Homo-oligomer: A and B are copies of this chain.
Amino acid sequence: MSSELELKAVNTIRLLSVDAVSKANSGHPGAPMGMAPAAHALWTQMKFNPKNPEWINRDRFVLSNGHACALLYSLLHLFGYPLTLDDLKSFRQLGSKCPGHPEYETPGIEVTTGPLGQGICNAIGLAMAQAQFAATFNKPGFTLSDNYTYCFFGDGCMMEGVASEAMSLAGHLQLGNLIAFYDDNHISIDGDTNVAFTEDVAARLESYGWDMLYVKDADTDLNAISDAIAQAKKTSKPTCIKITTTIGYGSLLQGSHSVHGAPLKADDVKQLKKKWGFDPEKTFEVPQEVYDLYAKVGEAGAAAEAEWNTLLEKYTVEYPELGAELKRRLAGELPETFIKDLPVYSVDDDAVASRKLSEIVLSKIEKNLPELVGGSADLTGSNLTRWGAAVDFQPPSTGLGEYSGRYFRFGVREHGMGAIMNGFSAFGANYKVYGGTFLNFVSYAAGALRLSALSGHPVIWIATHDSIGLGEDGPTHQPIETLAHFRALPNLMVWRPADGNETSAAYLKAIESKHTPSVIALSRQNLPQLAGSSIEKAAKGGYVVYEASGDAQLILVSTGSEVAISIDGAKKLAEAGIPTTVVSMPDFHTFDKQSLEYRKSILPDGIPIMSVEVMSTAVWAKYSHVQFGINRFGASGKAPEIYKYFEFTPEGVASRGKKTVEFFKGSKLLSPLNTPFDSVTM
């Protein structure tokens, strides 16, 4: 039986959520009202310290149905996180700590959610990280990591394909540290879920290798929920607790989709408050005994953290090396060795495909960088993402690896991989997570990549086969619009290195990054080492890689596999009496962060600038007066033949360079970097 106080606490959560939505006159009251009992039962047994939301061994909670965030904000407030009633009152207003969907930057919010399906995948990433972390650092008598990851999700998440990908993998990985609650409320925006969603969710999850538990009346039966949680902790599989709830429980319109996405009517709110013993004239009312009840949870969490800190000190004595490593990682610092582990090339070194150069980087840096973990979406042999001695991250029972393994077999699941990486990165402990696929198929994960950038998870995409240069696989696999898309995303580095030094620079910046994710676009075909490149220069995002002999009459600006072609084109142009400089621009985002003075030294006034890249020209006018690119889909054939077909040869570059110089003869050209005002980037 639930105590009166517990029921009051549940109703406080419900009413805070209702009041927040009503005050904003915008938002979703129904799901918070339905899920408040589960939230109460869960959070009162969770381990966390609201005074230090970053404690590495806290239990994680992810609200995958992020539109229900009034629930999460109410919980954070009631359990003592730094979120005030005034914050709740500013729900969904400009500048609020309580935006329309939960955002990572608010303390206590583990991941940004709202785009459906993402949160459950983030939770799976968090659970994978815990398993890897525990297997790496736990020792007999020193259980430094044993937290659980909990997740609420609804029908919407379950319909999204990204969830299918990650949930199947979670089953395969036997993530017993993951407990998810499926809010079976039968309502989505189009009405009853039976208009589109009549699958047997439980059978589906079981087919993935999950355990299922059921709470038939999760509107009132708190004990049943608690029992299910206790039961779920006992298994070595991920568990889903299917809770049958009434959306908008208590409202006069409960159980209908009218309570899903709009505030309750004023009368309805009043009858709710009266019914539950609250003052119908008051809003945002919190009985002191509810605060007191929940404060105990925070106090227990603080004590647990203190105990953990003591344990860590003992551990550091017993295992000085591992202890030091752990402390370094918790401080967010890279090992001093990192930079000098990066390979350096000179012009005499062999031509190598940049996907292979990437493999060399991984192989050189991994030893001193145990926080480096990653994998591929079933393209290991093509992406070259696995260093020789890597151990797979696998349940030991499979005989295929260990949980301490650092290589992930994601399966053909790009979107799931992206969302899992976000969760993994959000775990903390300085994890540097990467995922491999063909550049063209990073687009399958656009929803997750966007959230990496929005939340600032410094994950890394190893995106090989980065152009028409992949050859025979043809236009279905050849990126055209892809880099334009990614370069238009705020807070994303999009590296396309031209040789070995540039590949090292890309990894340098990607791994040093604390809040910006990276896509590293890599070639299938061999690329020569350039005389003019260096890690230091490339790490500025753009630099002169080939200087014109004499006053330049033309600047070519290029990336990746086209830089060497541009240099050869520049040599031809010089022969024809047009001294030409070549700028390599491996990452726009990093270049844009340099001083205007530096940038204008690279792309100065007075000289025509022509971009050279074998894909959409759409974003190149930012740095050039004229663009040479491919604004159509590619072709299937041998790579050199395709390059020739599209005229991406030294001759093709030179003839267009000549036309460009003639076209602008006599004009007073300004560098495109000159602008009368900054485009808004507040």
Please give the residue numbers on chain A whose beta carbons come within 8 Å of chain B beta carbons, in ascending order.
24, 26-27, 66, 92-96, 99-101, 103, 112-117, 155-157, 159-165, 168-169, 171-172, 188-190, 194-201, 203-204, 206-209, 376, 378-382, 392, 394, 398, 400, 409-413, 415-416, 440-441, 443-444, 446-447, 450-451, 453-454, 471-477, 480-481, 484-491, 616-619, 621-622, 626-633, 635-638, 641-642, 645-647, 656, 659-660, 662-664, 667-668, 670, 672, 674-677, 679-682
Contacts and interface: CB of A to CB of B under 8 A. Distances in A.
Given A381-B189, A413-B159, A490-B633, A476 B66 contact: yes
A661 to B, nearest CB: 9
Given A209-B198, A446-B444, A490 B480 contact: yes
A444 to B, nearest CB: 5
A660 to B, nearest CB: 5
Contact of A488 (B159, B480, B626, B656): B480
Contacts of A447: 441, 443-444
A94 B676 contact: no
A681 B631 contact: yes
Given A160-B165, A376-B190, A481-B489, A636 B171 contact: no
Contact of A628 (B621, B633, B679): B679
A92 B635 CA distance: 9
A409 B446 CA distance: 24
Nearest to A155: B412
A118 B415 CA distance: 14
A641 B24 CA distance: 14
A637 B93 contact: yes
A409 B676 contact: no
Contacts of A204: 204, 207-208
22 contacts: A27-B472, A95-B635, A99-B635, A100-B472, A101-B473, A115-B476, A117-B412, A171-B198, A188-B378, A194-B400, A196-B413, A203-B203, A441-B447, A450-B481, A485-B488, A489-B616, A490-B616, A490-B631, A490-B632, A618-B619, A631-B681, A656-B676
Nearest to A644: B94
B378 A636 contact: no
A514 B300 CA distance: 66
A161 B159 contact: no
Contact of A195 (B116, B392, B676): B392
A675 B631 CA distance: 15
Contacts of A677: 626, 628, 656, 659-660
Contacts of A682: 632, 646
A477 B450 CA distance: 11
B169 A165 contact: no
B621 A680 contact: no
Contact of A477 (B26, B114, B376): B114
